[in-house]
Every structure is written in structure tokens, then in C-alpha cells.
Amino acid sequence: MQQPAINQNQMLNTISLGIKSLMLHKLRSGLTMLGMIFGVCSVIAMLAIGEGASYEAQERIKRLGSNNIIINSVKPPEDQEESTSSNRRAAIAYGLTYDDASRIQHTIPNVDSVLPMRIIRENARFGRNQEPCQIIGTLPSYPQMQGIDIVAGRFLSSIDERHQRNVCVITSGLAQRLFSYQNPLQSTIKVEGVYYQVVGIINETGTVEQRPQQGEMEGEALDNNVYIPLSTARSRFGDTLIRRNAGSFSAETVELHRIIAKMEDTENVIQAEQQIRSLLKRFHEKNDFELIVPLQLLREAEATKRMFNIVLGSIAAISLLVGGIGIMNIMLATITERTREIGLRRALGAKKKDIVAQFLIETVVLSVGGGLIGVLLGIVTPVLVSVTTDMVTVITAWSVMLAFGISGLTGIAFGLYPASQAAELDPIEALRHE
């Protein structure tokens, strides 16, 4: 009944002896721990930065809607060459049409709603203030499909659409730039000689800009949108856009610049994308449209995130490996210094397992102690990065546990060989060692 107590006392004595041995050489022990400290810190910090970058990318994609399929008008390559090679006065027609939106709504199964959009680059004016902006003609269902927040007032209504009213909703950033000291909801803005009553303000960031004349997508955060009823946009701006450049001009006829099809659930998105593509190809001789599926982008982003984490984790793990090698190197050098001590302990009755336990405890203390300090630095570093830059960092519990767990395993793995080498010393030869 007393044997477990004896074993427990022996273990406590061994642990105490190992810690005392490390404390005798504080500087050497501290320098040995540095490799493990920086290794654990780099694992946590790099994974936090990687998670933050992935989080931002996935949030942008989620804002587009995982149930949505986005169809954009794109100028065909042959039309781009034609418009640049000569000054043609005939309008080049391409892109999506109102008929396309109707066909998608009534032909594709499991479509919940369809949102057509017309986008024009113009200047908005209020008094002496003028700001470049995107005039977006759309339907009242835009907030529900795009998940935007209405800060003040209201969004466009079905009555606005039916009667082609000159009303608009603007983003909060544009409101601040145009209306410095006035309430926007009691004012009007002027676009191309037409006044629009501001009826609402929305909070929208991270919107992907589309340049109608090129159909290009830019990942720039925007806050300069003006929303008007689609019927008003068609009535005021028509379907033909005039582009002037260095004395020449080109005309383009584009009915719709974007159509967003919202599916009833995510299970139908991939199949619907193929059906929409086939449907549009039947009515478009040119390759003048492109489909963007946020769900696919989200899955690709998640796969990229996993690969990114593996790469970052592997790079950071090298630091832990170097730290483990440093611990093993120091412990092997320590054996030479403490040969007489080992011989004396063996002569006084210490067994091989006691010697192994002593050296293993020293390496584990070094690695775990370094791991704890590394965890603290690894948590502080991403916070400092977020505070000093605009970069988002995400510290996950699994990355902290992974880094700390690896540090402990590294101590055991790289401490076994020095410990076994110390235990194998011949007691008599060890006592004779100078």
C-alpha cells in the first residue's frame, strides 16, 4: 500500500532535481527556450493572419449570396477590337436583355426571384459638391437579395418602379461627402440635369464594382452608389451609352449590366448555373455574358484556406523543429558536463529509468515553458497586427492547442535520445570522468 506513495515521492524528487539543474544555468536555459518560444509564436501568429485573410475573402463572397447566381454583361473581344480600330457611329449592341431576365424567371426551375440591374457611371451633384458615383437602376427586392442595411428612410418601392419616380437611395459614405451639414432625406441630388429626391440611406461596403463598358469586376470596396428605380433608369438614360475619348466617341447598347438569380436553396445552385448558361447561349450569338457563382467561389476559398493553413503551418513548424534540435543539442552537451553527477547518482542506487526521467523532465520543462511563453506572444502578435494595420486576424483555439501540443511532443521526442545516452553511461567510467 505504501509503494505508490514511494513512487510518487521519487517522481517529485526527480522533477525537483530537473528544475534545479535548469535553474543553475538560467541564461543557457533561457536561450535554449528561445527556439521553442519563437516557433510556437510563429505558428499561432501565421495561422491567425492566414485565417483573417481567408475570413475577409469568405465574408465578401457571402455578401454576394450563396444562393445567388450573378450574370454580368461582358463586351465580346471582337467588339472591343472594332470599337478601338475605327470611330464607328453605329452603336455596338451586346450583353444581357430584359427578355433574358424574364426567361430566367419563368424557365429555370427552383428560381426564387430575379433581380435585373442597370449600371451607369455619372456624377452626382448637390450644391457645389460633386462626386463620381454608380447610378444603379434596380428593383425594390435589392435589399433582400443583397443583404444591405437601411440606415435611414426607406428603399425603393413598387410604386416608385411603376410610376418611374425620380427618387433615389444613396450609400452612407456618399451622403457624408455630398451633404456635409444637411439632412439628405430632405434634399435632392442632380444627375445629368435631372433631380432625384433622396428617400433613403443604406450602409453598403465591399460592393464589387462593375464597369459597364468593359464588364470587368474589381474587388474594390465602394461606397458611392445611387439606387434609382429600374424603370426610371431606362426612361432617363435609355439603352445606349456614349463613350467619348480624345475627340472620338463610341456608342454601346446594353439593356442590363447584371442579373442576379436567387435560388430557393443552395442545393439547386450548381445545376441552375448550367441551365442558365445553356439558356443564354441559345439567344446570344456572341460570348457577351459571364456567370459568377458565389457558392463555388466560397468552396474554392475554403479549399484555398486549407491549403494556405497547411503551408503556413508547415513553415512555422520548421521553427519548432529547429527549437527541438536546439534543445537536443544543449542536452547532449549537458551530459558531457554532468558525467560525474550521473555516475555518482548511479553509484548511490539510481536506476537507468531515473536518469532517463530526470533528463526528459528537463527537456519537457524547456519545451513546455517555451511553449507557454510562445502562446502568450502568439496571441499578442496578431492583436498588434490588427491594431497597427487594417489587416484582420483570427486566433483560433485549435491553432493555440496545436502549437502548444507540438511544443510538448517536441520536447519528449528530442529529449529521448539525450536521456537514453545519459542512462547508458557506465557508472564507474562516469565517476572517473574529469
C-alpha cell at 240: 445606349
Q: What is the pLDDT of residue 6?
A: 44
Contact assessment for residue 289 and residue 71, using Cβ atoms and an 8 Å cutoff = yes
Which of 378, 367, 373 minimizes the C-alpha distance to 410? Answer: 367
For residue 279, give the amino acid letter: L
Distance CA 128, CA 85 (A): 39
pLDDT grade for 124, boundaries at 50, 70 and 90:
very high
pLDDT grade for 99, boundaries at 50, 70 and 90:
very high
Secondary structure class of 225 (helix, strand, coil): strand
Who's near 410: CB < 8 A, 6+ residues apart? 36, 320, 321, 323, 324, 327, 367
pLDDT grade for 15, boundaries at 50, 70 and 90:
low
pTM (whole model) above 0.95: no
335-365 tens-digit pLDDT: 766 666 666 666 666 677 777 777 777 788 8
Distance CA 135, CA 57 (A): 26
C-alpha cell at 341: 553527477
Number of H helices and E strands in the chain, helices first, is 14, 15
Residue, of 85 and 117, whose pLDDT is higher: 117
Q: What is the pLDDT of residue 3?
A: 47
For residue 200, give the amino acid letter: G
Distance CA 30, CA 370 (A): 9
Which of 358, 365, 312, 310 minimizes the C-alpha distance to 338? Answer: 358
For residues 409-422, give the mean pLDDT. 74
